[in-house]
Amino acid sequence: LEAAGRLRVMAFDKTGTLTYGKPEVMDVIQNPASAESDDPLKLAAMVESRSEHPLARAVVRAAEERGIEVASLEESDVGVEALSGRGVRAVLNGDEQQIYVGNRALFNEVSIAIPRELLSQARALEDDGKTVMVVATTIGGQASVAGLVAVADTVRPNAREVIAALKRVGIRRTVMLTGDNERTAAAIAAQAGIDEFRANLPPDEKVAAIEALLAEYEQAAMVGDGINDAPALARATVGIAMGGAGTDQALETADIALMADNLDNIPYAIRLSRRTLGIVRQNLGLSLAIKAVVMALALPGLATLWMAVFADVGASLIVILNGMRLLRHRA
């Protein structure tokens, strides 16, 4: 409570915090130059079927809803590697075939060229606030881009109101930290009313972003829900986890958990913290003042026993009653 009452800057994760964290596949675009059998949604679902990430679950769910039979990848036949902040890679049949599902940074890293037409479509989808996953395969060293899978998450309807309420209670700066691309991050930040955003951040760079805010403001809060947010939650002065949808790691690391994932509780927590600090200061001042007056009267012999009782027990009762005024403080 004491630390929260002094906050001036607050950072937010995007997925599951400012958004519901329940993305849905909105667009599937196949590369006209790829083989008809290379359905990007089918390939992506095959790779993502072993992941619990919200985007992965959305891809698998979309494939099932569209009646696409997703081949099961047996652990003995395939190796799946999560590439933090970039995507995922599956290696099949030894090293004979590889499937990549991820953002453009991943494909720049592995030197797989994305066709110009698909790049243009990806940028248009990102401008609409969608997260675009590129799907590609390599067989015998020959790469082929199968297409795009665009996923969209819904911004929480009260996100903008919550950010405005935080400004009213003294938060000067709000920052969104996300592993998503620049265009999608910009669209979501605009919808939520966030002051600024930092995109394409893996977990370690989220921690670095928090450290930069701490260097500038001395105290900073982080709001998140996922495993990737846990290091940043731990580094922040005050870590706030989404209590309903948050992972165990986030909940265990955070200082505050928002029950029912209600963002409205964040401004309430800040107001309560500052009101609590105010009452603590009142109680300290009042207690010291009472004791100082009785001490001044005691030195010339003017204080009575009842005055001493009032200075001790009476001051304690006043402090308790003053503190109980917090019970009237509502969200």
Strand-pairing partners, residue 81, are 89
| 41 closest CA partner among 119, 148, 137 | 148
Number of other residues whose CB lies within 10 A of the CB of residue 133: 27
DSSP 173: E
**Where does residue 90 rank: exposed (0-12), middle (13-18), buried (19+ CB within 10 A)?**
buried
| 266 closest CA partner among 293, 248, 243 | 243
Q: What angle do CA 53, 183, 80 make, to 5 degrees?
A: 30
Structure tokens at 323: 């503190």
Q: Please name the residue that has the structure tokens 């600090």.
A: 277
Cβ(105)–Cβ(99) under 8 Å? no
Name the active-site residue from 13, 39, 225, 229. 13
Helix axes 265-298, 159-168, angle to 10 degrees: 20
Cβ(268)–Cβ(331) under 8 Å? yes
Number of other residues whose CB lies within 10 A of the CB of residue 292: 11
Q: How many residues does the structure list for the chain?
A: 331
Query: How far apart (Å, rounded) are the C-alpha atoms in residues 60 and 70?
Result: 8
Query: Is position 13 annotated as part of the catalytic site?
Result: yes
Query: How far apart (Å, rounded) are the C-alpha atoms in residues 38 and 136?
Result: 9
Cβ(240)–Cβ(255) under 8 Å? yes
DSSP 202: -
Q: Which amino acid is at 259?
A: M
Catalytically active residues are 13
